[in-house]
Amino acid sequence: MEDRFMAIFRYIIIGLIILGFASFNIRDIDEYGVILLLLFIINNNLRFFILKNKQNFVFISLMMEIILSAIIYEYYGGIVLFYFVSSILDGILFLNNKLNIIIGLMIYLTVILMSKDAGFKMLALNLGVVTILIFISYYMKYEYRQKLAAEKLYYRLKLSEERLKKANMDLEMYADSVRELTAMRERNRISREIHDSVGHSLSTIIIQLGAIEKMAKKDGKTAALMAENLREFAKDGLEEVRKALRELKPMEMEKYESIIAVENLIRQFSKLTGVDVKFGFSKEKIPLNEEESLVVYRIVQEFLSNSVRHGKASKVNIFMNFNEDHLILTLRDNGVGTDKVEKGMGLTNIWERVRELGGHIQYSTERGKGFLLRVVLNLKKEYAGE
């Protein structure tokens, strides 16, 4: 929008130069005058549309324009001030302080030389208007820089806002994962305690009641009957406990076994190394068979090891995304990265294991930009459908 305004303003100034050139000429306009005017216009437009970001070319262009203005005015006349409006604006806006001071002094000197025969009042008027134009140009440059600074600040704030939103989403995702894992570990702990304490006690009762039943048969049928009833009652109680355990630890727990194994590995790794590892997984989870679970575990184990040993990483993000047929495992660290990946025994084994399961591996790394590993496993149909 501003470039369009400046272009229109420039064309108006060129039109006024042509008007003054035609109206206040001191001699008839010949082909040389037309050529000089065309050179003036071409140089002016080249500077604005093509060369404005190249200070040396702008400086040369402005010097040529000042010289052309002096020649045209000397031989053909016109209005002095109109020749220098574009030069003043371009010199202030497109040049650094040293160069635009030189251009300003050249314009002052040229205006004085061009106005030497016009009288003192006209000279003072021209110099005054040139000074005002210079101040206006400096003000425009200041405002333009302030606007650029505000735009850069706005874009930085916008980028920071997007990053904060992404970080917030990641934190929410990790928090949900942590809550799920915590709840599942607690349920698993309770189920183990029930199994180890209540289940063991009831089993002991059943055994003892069986012995009492045999002994009571020698002394009385009533005692045997009571013992038998008590034994059946205890059996029923044990079955109820087992039923409660199945409900407390449903088949869904199978979906978490590989996740809990990885989470335990990460927790131990962070404790030993001090590396901040964020672990998350999708809401939908599919149980992995023993082979798939082992591959996932080894991949995470090898990546964490390499992140510290080779990458010198301080942060690692790991995410397990389950869909209908695939597990997509994404691992990223903030380590030093590398321009050349050399597969050691650990990575080679992982590559072979993943290929055996019909999966594939992708990685991305550059020096100073960390390491990204993406593993896609094709899950077995009997598990993917459950």
Compute the half-sphere exposure of residue 34: CA atoms within 13 Å on the CB side of its CA. Answer: 4
Quick one: which of 351, 361, 283 has its CA closest to 328? Answer: 361
pTM above 0.75, yes or no: no
What pLDDT, on a 0 to 100 scale, did the predictor assign at position 249?
Answer: 54
Mean pLDDT value of segment 321-329: 86
Angstrom distance (rounded) from CA 313 to CA 308: 5
Quick one: which of 71, 62, 120, 46 has its CA closest to 95? Answer: 62
Quick check: 329 pLDDT over 90? yes
pLDDT in tens, 10-27: 788 888 777 776 777 666
Quick check: 265 pLDDT over 70? yes
Average pLDDT, the chain: 80
Quick one: which of 124, 65, 116, 70 has its CA closest to 90? Answer: 65
Mean pLDDT value of segment 306-329: 89
Quick one: which H or E segment has residue 315? strand 315-322
Positive or negative torsion for Cα 233, 234, 236, 237: positive
Q: For residue 305, what are its two tokens?
A: 């090891």
User: Which amino acid, one-letter code, is at 117?
Assistant: D
In sequence order, what are the residues at sequence separation of 6 or more whose Cβ sits closer than 8 angstroms to the Cβ of residue 235? 206
pLDDT in tens, 337-376: 888 777 666 677 778 888 888 889 888 888 888 999 999 9
Quick check: 30 pLDDT over 90? no
Look at residue 313 and give its three-state secondary structure: coil
Mean pLDDT value of segment 304-332: 89
The structure tokens 């939908």 sit at 284
